[in-house]
Amino acid sequence: MGELKTVFWLTLKEKRDVALAVVFGFLAGLAGVALLGASGYLISKAALTAQMTTLVVMAASLKLFGFASALARYAERLFSHRATFTMLGHLRSNFFERLAPLAPGIFQRHQSGDLLSRIVGDVESLQNFLLRVLYPPIVVGMVLVATVFFTSFYSLPMALAIFVGAILVVVVLPAFFALRRRKKTHATGQTRGAFSAQSAEFLYGFKDLKIHLALDQKSAALQESARRYEEAQQNEGLEENRVQSLNALVAFLASFFVLATGAYLVSVGQLSGLYLAMLVMVSLGAFENVGPLAALPAYYEESRIAARRLDEVVAEEPDQSTGDMPEGAVDIEVDHLSYRYPNDGRLALEEISFRLPKGSKTAIVGPSGSGKSTLLQLLLKTAEPESGSIRFGGEALSHMAPENVWQRMNVVLQENHFFSGTIESNLHIANGQADAGQLREALELVRLGHLELAAPVSEKGRNLSGGEKQRLAMARAFLKGERLWLLDEPFSSVDGVTAQSIYSELFARHPEDTFVIISHDLSRLEDMDRILVLENGRLIEQGTYRELMERRGYFYGLKKIEEEVFA
Ligand SMILES: Nc1ncnc2c1ncn2[C@@H]1O[C@H](COP(=O)(O)OP(=O)(O)OP(=O)(O)O)[C@@H](O)[C@H]1O
C-alpha cells in the first residue's frame, strides 16, 4: 500500500465526492436487495394470500425500489467518476511538477518510449484505483452488513452464512488473488512499458534498420514484447474470470444454505413460509453486488505497480538551488572537476582544472570520447560533478538555480530540436520578443539570409540540411543576446569557409563576450585566446595556439597527423 500513498491522498482531496459515491453506492445496493427481497415476498404473498391491497402496495414498492436503485446507481457513477477524473488531474500536475526539474537528465535513466508509457499509460491506469479498488469493497461490505443485520431478525444461522460469504468475497478472495498476482513477474504495466519503449526505438530507427537490413531481427524482438504484453493482458482476464467464478460459487453456497435452513425452519414451524422466498432473494440480491470485486486484485496490483513506476521516475531530488548566475560576460574557473556517468565505473572527467578570463575565446579539443561534451554538460548544470567545483564570475555554480544558469547562456548543443512550424516560430523559441528585423539579422549572420521567416519547418527540421539546422541553432543562440557562449561543435556539418566567416563576424561583433567552443576541427584555431586539450577525460595541455605548437606536445602531434592526412 506504501506505493499508493500519494494516489490515496490525492484521491482523498475529493473526499466529498468519494463520500457521496459511497453513500449512493450503498443506497443503490440496498435498493437492489430490497427490490429482490420485496419481489420474493410478493410472490409468496400472491400465492398464499390473495389480498388485493397488499399486492398493490407491494407492486408499488417494487417500482419505487427499482426507480431508487437506478437513480442511486446513476449518482454513484457520477460522483465516483468525477472524483476519479479530478484525482487524475491532481496526479498529472503533481507528477509534472516533480518531473520538470529533472527533465534535462531524465533520459540518462529512462528510454523515451518507456517514459511516455509511464506518463500516459500508468497515470491512466490509476483511474481504476478509486473506481475498482478503493470504494467498491466498502460499498459491497456495507450492503452485506445491512443484509446480515436484516436476516438476523429471522434466523441467526442464515445471517451467519451470509456473513461468512461476505468475509470470503470482500476480504479473503481479493487478498489471496492480489498476493498471487504479486508473485507473477510480468505485470501488464511493465510489459506495456517495455513494448512502448521498443516501439519508440523501432520507429526512431526505422530508416537505419532498413538500410542495415536489420528490420526482421528488430521486428521479431518487437513482436516478442507485443506477445508478452498480450499474454499479460490475457492472464489478467483469466485471473478475473477465476475470481468471478469463485465469487459466484460463494454467493450460490451462501444462498443455498439460506434456502436449506429456511426450508428446515418452515418445516419445524419456526419461520413463516411467507418469508422464505424473500430471504433467499435478499441473499442473492446482496451477493449480486460483488461482481465488480472480481477485478479488484488485478486492479490493485496494476495500480500499485503504476504508482511505483511513476515514483521511480521522480524519485530523484530536484536541484533546489536558488542562487543567481552573475550577469554579463563572466570568467570561468574549474577546479579539480571529476565526473562519472551513472552506473559507469570509470571517470568520464578526471581532476580537470582551468581558468578562462572574462571575454576570452576558448576552444576545447581532443579525440572523440575524450570528455568534451561531458565538460559542457557540467558547465550547463545538466549534470552534477562527482567532485570539484565550477565558478562563474567567482560564484559557485552549485548554488545557482539551473533555470537561471540557462537563461544567462547562449547555447548550441550537438543535437538541436526543431519543431514543426516556420523558421520564425523556431527562432522565437530563443527570444519571443524579437521582431522581424532582429530575426532577419540573426539569419543574415549565420548566412541563411535567403530563408523566408514564414518558410515551413517540418517535424525535427526534416526539410532542412544538417548544416542549415546547425546554423539555425546558432541564430537562436545569437537571438538570446547573452554574453556567455557555450557551443558544442556548432558547425561540424557546415563547410569550413562559411563556419570561419560566421565565427569572424561573431567575434568582431562581440569582442567582450566569453566564448567556449568545442571543436573537432583543429584548423583555424590560431584566433582563439586559449585551447584546452582533453584526452581520456583528462586535461593534458592548455595554452595559446602558438604555445601549444612550440611545446611540441600532444596538440602538436594531432596537428601533424591532421596535416599529413589532408596533405
Ligand atoms: N550518457 C552517457 N552514459 C554513459 N557514458 C557516457 C554517456 N555519454 C558519454 N559517455 C561516455 O563518456 C565519455 C566522454 O563522452 P563525451 O560525449 O563527453 O566525449 P566527446 O569528447 O564530447 O566526444 P565527441 O567528440 O565524439 O562528441 C565517452 O567515453 C562516452 O562513452
Long-range contacts of 204-210 (CB under 8 A, 24+ apart): none
**Quick one: how far is CA 69 from the chain centroid?**
39
What's the fold here for domain 2-313? ABC transporter transmembrane region fold (1.20.1560)
Place 138 in a pLDDT band, splitting at 50, 70 and 90. very high
Is the minimum distance from the CB of 151 to ligand 1 under 6 angstroms? no
Any atom of ligand 1 within 6 Å of the Cβ of 449: no
Choice from 374, 412, 486, 558 to test ligand 1 binding pocket (greatest atom count within 8 A of CB)? 374
Residue type, 173: L
**Residue 348 CA, ligand 1 centroid: distance in Å:** 7
CB 223 less than 6 A from any atom of ligand 1: no
Nine-digit cell string for 258: 439460506
367 φ, ψ (degrees, to nearest 5): -65, 165
Q: Specify the ligand 1 atom closest to the Cα of 108.
A: 1
pLDDT of the residue at 249: 92
Instruction: Output the CA–CA distances (angstroms, integers) from residue 133 to 7, 69, 342, 372, in the order listed.
Output: 12, 22, 37, 52
Domain ranges of the chain: 2-313, 332-566
How far apart, in whole angstroms, are the C-alpha atoms of residue 372 and residue 367?
9
CB 83 within 8 A of CB 11: yes
Does 6 contact ligand 1 (Cβ within 6 A)?
A: no
For residue range 190-229, list pLDDT tens digits in order: 788 788 888 888 888 888 888 888 888 889 999 999 999 8
> Atom 6 of ligand 1 has which residue's CA nearest to it?
341
Give CA–CA dist 248/289, Å, rounded: 11
- Coil, helix or strand at residue 507: helix
Is the confidence at residue 482, as pLDDT, over 80?
yes
pLDDT in tens, 100-130: 777 666 666 677 777 777 778 788 888 888 8
Whether ipTM tops 0.90, in short, is yes
Nearest-atom index, ligand 1, CA of 370? 21
Average pLDDT for residues 299-319, to the nearest whole number? Answer: 81
Decide: 370 in ligand 1 pocket, CB within 6 A: yes
Q: Is 368 in the pocket of ligand 1 (CB under 6 A)?
A: yes
Name residues whose C-beta falls within 8 Å of residue 156's C-beta, 6 or more positions apart in sequence. Answer: none
Confidence of residue 385 (pLDDT cuts 50, 70, 90): very high
Residue 374 Cβ contacting ligand 1 at under 6 Å = yes
The percentage of residues in the chain with a pLDDT greater than 70, rounded to a whole number, is 96
Question: Average pLDDT, stretch 79-83?
Answer: 94
Is 398 a pocket residue for ligand 1 (Cβ < 6 Å)? no
Contacts of 306 (CB under 8 A, 6+ apart): 121, 122, 123, 125, 126, 189
Counting beta carbons within 10 angstroms of the beta carbon of residue 138, is it exposed (0 to 12), middle (13 to 18) or buried (19 or more)? middle
Q: Candidates 3.40.50.300, 3.20.20.150, 3.40.50.2020, 3.30.1490.20; correct CATH number of 332-566? A: 3.40.50.300
pTM: 0.66
